[in-house]
């Protein structure tokens, strides 16, 4: 009899313990953190239990989506930060430094130049990538170099970074040139039926170009399989983009919803395809493309088990996709839009390219001489940075300048707002003016630490040299062969996903020179 009574008692105690733990995690701890921040003068909007400020953010984003800008009436503006209108409202109400919540995750909004400098120059491994990126973006990014922390991150970067230094990227120039020529020729073929001009939606073309380079660089003769992998990664990214605001809501990623099931299935397929490439190479012999170099470097530098090596390969192939494929394609599309909207700069950049190349295919030395083109690309990445938000998490209690940051708090630097802050860039911050970079970044901005298109600090993007070389070669060849303007049907509507993309695509009117 006593034993029978004891069982319900144990169950009750267990339920009380679970409830107490959840109450502490969802209510007490977030409240404690908010009080610590408030004592330092950091306040923010009140949030709901479980959801935080997610409902307000979703409402603001839905309102922004209803307001596309038709070109050319009214005039095209370059305010991609409009997708973050809720942050602008909170900044006016709570100041340049405020906090908000996604679920039970507490976030400090950081655009104050002094604090940005503290974050960008912090070399401590205790200020790492947010844990939610591994948890919520795990199917897309795994625990690769973009999301990992501590010694695991340091080990991966040590292996990967040397393979993307400028000296190594130079060896990819022929590959980049071939892909650029193939792309230009595909556009020329569109004029074979006659016609003075054609309208092109360039987004898919830019993806094909960028995917062509990354697939060949990573997968070599397994290029077709590489393209299949990238297509599936694109599908996976689209699913995950719909979930980004829910990152702080506990438990959602475990529910067997339709989107979660699709996500899990794609993750398995992608992992299997990547490992299939590796296994086939082991049987056929070595092929020294980027993937094989990374495999050999990992084997030589660390005592990895077979399972660890497989995970390293899968995770970092997925990371290369996001960092090297999608972002380069979107940057190229935005650059076409800006030069189409600003014909005077298109003309100046073309004149420079024609003078430097003198009818030849550009080589590395020629590309280095294209200062105006470099300024155009820099200004494009200022107005439409691929990484719209750079997040860091205090992995332990720590101080940044005069700010005490409790363990678990995220610091978000909103890059697109930092890049268009009039106090840093002047009253023309929302205008396309490449000449601001005539004397470099230090001459363009009052605080050079506030220009971060490739991230910052020790975690700056290791693929930045490859991205810049791709863009310069592609635009040197496009400018040599075509002129273009924005189509009258173009609708300007930057959309917030994992990166800032043109919601309705970039539609240009192309004319062969």
pLDDT in tens, 444-476: 998 888 899 988 877 888 888 999 999 999 999
Instruction: Provide the pLDDT for residue 349.
Output: 98
Q: Which residue has the higher pLDDT, 223 or 358?
A: 358
Q: How many domains does the chain have?
A: 1
pLDDT over threshold 90, residue 16: no
Least confident of 48-57, 69-78, 303-312, 399-408: 69-78
Position 497 in a domain: yes
Position 18 in a domain: no
Confidence class for position 235, pLDDT limits 50, 70, 90: confident
Position 33 in a domain: yes
The closest of 473, 511, 487 to 188, measured between CA atoms, is: 511
Collapsing DSSP states into helix, strand and coil, what is residue 69?
strand
Rounded distance, CA 384 to CA 419, Å?
9
Rounded distance, CA 43 to CA 340, Å?
43
Collapsing DSSP states into helix, strand and coil, what is residue 152?
helix
Name the most confidently modeled range: 78-87, 90-99, 152-161, 345-354.
Answer: 345-354
pLDDT over threshold 70, residue 209: yes
Position 490 in a domain: yes
Average pLDDT over residues 76-96: 82
pLDDT in tens, 468-487: 999 999 999 999 999 999 99
C-beta contacts of 366-372 below 8 A and 24+ residues apart: 366/476, 367/469, 367/472, 367/473, 367/476, 370/472, 370/476, 372/348, 372/434
C-beta contacts of 68-75 below 8 A and 24+ residues apart: 68/491, 68/492, 68/493, 68/503, 68/504, 69/491, 69/492, 69/493, 70/490, 70/491, 70/492, 71/341, 71/486, 71/488, 71/490, 71/491, 71/492, 72/486, 72/488
- With contact defined as beta carbons under 8 Å apart, do 52 and 108 qualify? no
**DSSP 8-state symbol, 362:** P
Average pLDDT over residues 168-175: 89
The closest of 234, 504, 237, 513 to 359, measured between CA atoms, is: 513
Least confident of 33-42, 78-87, 152-161, 298-307: 298-307
Instruction: Provide the pLDDT for residue 37.
Output: 94
Instruction: Provide the pLDDT for residue 203.
Output: 92
- What region does 426 belong to: left with phi over 0, alpha with psi -120 to 50, or beta? left
Q: What percent of the chain has pLDDT over 90?
A: 36
Domain that holds residue 216: 25-512
Structure tokens at 412: 């978000």
pLDDT over threshold 80, residue 260: yes
- The contacts of residue 164 (CB under 8 Å, 6+ apart) are 462, 463, 465, 466
Q: Which residue has the higher pLDDT, 176 or 498?
A: 176
Rounded distance, CA 496 to CA 293, Å?
35
Position 186 in a domain: yes
Position 360 in a domain: yes
Could you write out the DSSP letters of every residue in 260-276?
Answer: HHHHHHHHHHHHHHHHH
Position 13 in a domain: no
Average pLDDT over residues 191-220: 86
pTM of the complete model = 0.87
Judge residue 123's burial from the number of C-beta atoms within 10 Å of its C-beta, 0-12 exposed, 13-18 middle, 19 or more buried. exposed
pLDDT over threshold 80, residue 26: no
- With contact defined as beta carbons under 8 Å apart, do 194 and 219 qualify? no
Rounded distance, CA 140 to CA 130, Å?
15
Rounded distance, CA 415 to CA 487, Å?
29
Locate tokens 């794609």: which residue? 266
Rounded distance, CA 445 to CA 113, Å?
11
Least confident of 56-65, 326-335, 456-465: 56-65
Show the CA angle centred on residue 312, arms to residues 228 and 291, nearest 5°: 50
**Integer CA distances (angstroms), 185 to 20, 175, 196, 487, in order:** 66, 16, 17, 21
Least confident of 108-122, 138-152, 250-264, 265-279: 250-264
- With contact defined as beta carbons under 8 Å apart, do 237 and 326 qualify? yes
Instruction: Provide the pLDDT for residue 248.
Output: 53
pLDDT over threshold 70, residue 197: yes
Instruction: Provide the pLDDT for residue 213.
Output: 87
Half-sphere exposure of 162 (CA within 13 A, CB side): 10
Instruction: Provide the pLDDT for residue 384.
Output: 93
Structure tokens at 263: 């996500």
- With contact defined as beta carbons under 8 Å apart, do 472 and 166 qualify? no
pLDDT over threshold 60, residue 242: yes
Beta pairing, strands 197-201 & 398-400:
unpaired
Average pLDDT over residues 245-250: 57
Instruction: Provide the pLDDT for residue 1.
Output: 43
Could you write out the DSSP letters of every residue in 387-451?
Answer: --EEEEEESSSEEETTEEE-TT-EEEEEHHHHTT-HHHH-TTTTS--GGGGTTHHHHH-SSGGG-
The closest of 210, 180, 172, 148 to 465, measured between CA atoms, is: 172
Locate tokens 């940057």: which residue? 331
Locate tokens 């678990």: which residue? 408
Q: Which residue has the higher pLDDT, 242 or 93?
A: 93
Least confident of 60-69, 206-215, 266-275, 417-426: 60-69
- With contact defined as beta carbons under 8 Å apart, do 367 and 349 qualify? no
Rounded distance, CA 411 to CA 392, Å?
5
Structure tokens at 189: 């073929």
Q: Which residue has the higher pLDDT, 42 or 123?
A: 42
Collapsing DSSP states into helix, strand and coil, what is residue 310?
helix
The CATH number of residue 176's host domain is 1.10.630.10
- With contact defined as beta carbons under 8 Å apart, do 475 and 377 qualify? yes
pLDDT over threshold 70, residue 287: no
Average pLDDT over residues 110-129: 86
Position 487 in a domain: yes
The closest of 80, 90, 127, 132 to 111, measured between CA atoms, is: 90
- Phi, psi torsion values for 194, nearest 5 degrees: 90, 180
């Amino acid at each position: 009899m006593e034993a029978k009574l004891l069982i319900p008692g144990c169950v009750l105690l267990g339920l009380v313990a679970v409830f107490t733990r959840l109450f502490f995690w969802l209510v007490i701890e977030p409240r404690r953190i908010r009080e610590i921040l408030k004592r330092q003068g950091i306040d923010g909007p009140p949030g709901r239990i479980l959801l935080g400020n997610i409902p307000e953010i979703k409402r603001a984003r839905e309102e922004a989506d209803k307001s596309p800008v038709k070109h050319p009436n009214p005039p095209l503006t370059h305010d991609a930060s409009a997708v973050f209108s809720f942050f602008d409202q909170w900044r006016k109400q709570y100041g340049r430094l405020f906090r908000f919540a996604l679920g039970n995750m507490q976030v400090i909004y950081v655009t104050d130049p002094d604090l940005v400098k503290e974050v960008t120059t912090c070399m401590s491994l205790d200020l790492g990538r947010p844990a939610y990126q591994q948890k919520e973006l795990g199917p897309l990014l795994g625990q690769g170099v973009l999301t990992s922390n501590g010694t695991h991150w340091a080990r991966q970067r040590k292996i990967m970074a040397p393979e993307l230094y400028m000296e190594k990227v130079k060896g990819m120039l022929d590959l980049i040139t071939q892909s650029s020529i193939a792309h230009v020729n595909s556009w020329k073929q569109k004029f074979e039926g006659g016609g003075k001009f054609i309208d092109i939606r360039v987004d898919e073309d830019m993806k094909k170009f960028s995917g062509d380079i990354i697939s060949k660089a990573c997968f070599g003769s397994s290029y077709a399989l590489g393209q299949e992998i990238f297509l599936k990664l694109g599908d996976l990214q689209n699913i995950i983009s719909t979930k980004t605001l829910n990152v702080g809501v506990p438990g959602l990623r475990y529910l067997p919803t339709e989107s979660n099931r699709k996500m899990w299935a794609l993750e398995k397929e992608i992992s299997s395809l990547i490992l299939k490439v590796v296994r086939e190479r082991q049987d056929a012999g070595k092929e020294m493309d980027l993937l094989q170099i990374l495999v050999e470097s990992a084997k030589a530098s660390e005592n990895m088990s077979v399972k660890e090596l497989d995970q390293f390969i899968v995770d970092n192939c997925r990371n290369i996709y996001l960092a090297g494929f999608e972002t380069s394609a979107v940057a190229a599309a935005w650059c076409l839009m800006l030069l189409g909207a600003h014909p005077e700069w298109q003309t100046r950049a073309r004149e420079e390219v024609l003078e430097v190349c003198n009818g030849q295919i550009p080589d590395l030395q020629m590309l280095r001489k294209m200062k105006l083109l470099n300024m155009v690309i820099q200004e494009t990445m200022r107005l439409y940075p691929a990484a719209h938000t750079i997040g860091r998490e205090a992995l332990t209690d720590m101080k940044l300048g005069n700010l005490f940051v409790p363990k678990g708090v995220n610091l978000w630097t909103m890059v697109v707002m930092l890049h268009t802050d009039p106090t840093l860039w002047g009253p023309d911050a929302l205008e396309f003016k490449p000449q601001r970079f005539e004397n470099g970044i230090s001459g363009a901005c009052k605080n050079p630490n506030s220009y971060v298109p490739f991230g910052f600090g020790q975690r700056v993007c290791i693929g930045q040299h490859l991205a810049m070389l791709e863009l310069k070669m592609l635009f040197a060849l496009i400018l040599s062969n075509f002129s273009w303007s924005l189509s009258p049907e173009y609708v300007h509507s930057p959309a917030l996903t994992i990166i800032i993309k043109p919601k309705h695509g970039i539609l240009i009117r192309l004319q062969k020179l």
